[in-house]
Amino acid sequence: MKKQLMLAAAILPSVGVAASESKDLSVGMAVDQQLSVVVEIDKQYRGIIGNDGMAFDYIAKRGSFDQSMPVTWYVGVGGWYEWDDEFGIRVPLGLNWDLSKGWDLYAQIHPELELYKGPDLQIGGAVGIKYNF
């Protein structure tokens, strides 16, 4: 547990510094690493800390289906760490829905490569809501 707290303590200040320099900050809740807090900076860097672990995703590409639709798509790369020492990389593939001014709902699937006891391919998912400041 001490190792996890030290890791979280090392990551959280860097998120705070980046957020203070950022023009676009979103904060919300998700079901990703079980119940999780989500912080997104510049619609590109997403950090998740939850009951089961933490994750970080870099959203590499965003696009829209139609300009009149409030739904957009995204693709990213990231990594995750669970409190029981499992870890790996993932590729988030998701949809983002602009609910109303400032509020976004997102859902994603993310193929994962677990690296803890040797390579193991699996699939995960997440659903979250964020408020954009």
| pLDDT, tens digit (0-9, with 9 covering 90-100), for 43-83 | 999 999 999 999 999 999 999 988 888 999 999 999 999 99
Q: Assign 13 a pLDDT band (cuts: 50, 70, 90).
A: low
Tell me the C-alpha distance between 25 and 46, whole Å: 10
Contact 115, 90 (CB under 8 A): no
Residue 2 neighbours by CB under 8 Å, 6+ apart: none
- pLDDT score of 74: 98
Contact 49, 36 (CB under 8 A): yes
The phi, psi pair for 84, rounded to 5°, reads: -90, 25
The token pair that represents 8 in the structure block: 């979280």
| pLDDT, tens digit (0-9, with 9 covering 90-100), for 26-46 | 999 999 999 999 999 999 999
Using only the alpha carbons of the chain, give its radius of gyration: 15
pTM of the model: 0.79
The token pair that represents 22 in the structure block: 């950022």
Tell me the C-alpha distance between 37 and 28, whole Å: 6
What domains are there in the chain, each with its CATH number?
2-132 (2.40.160)
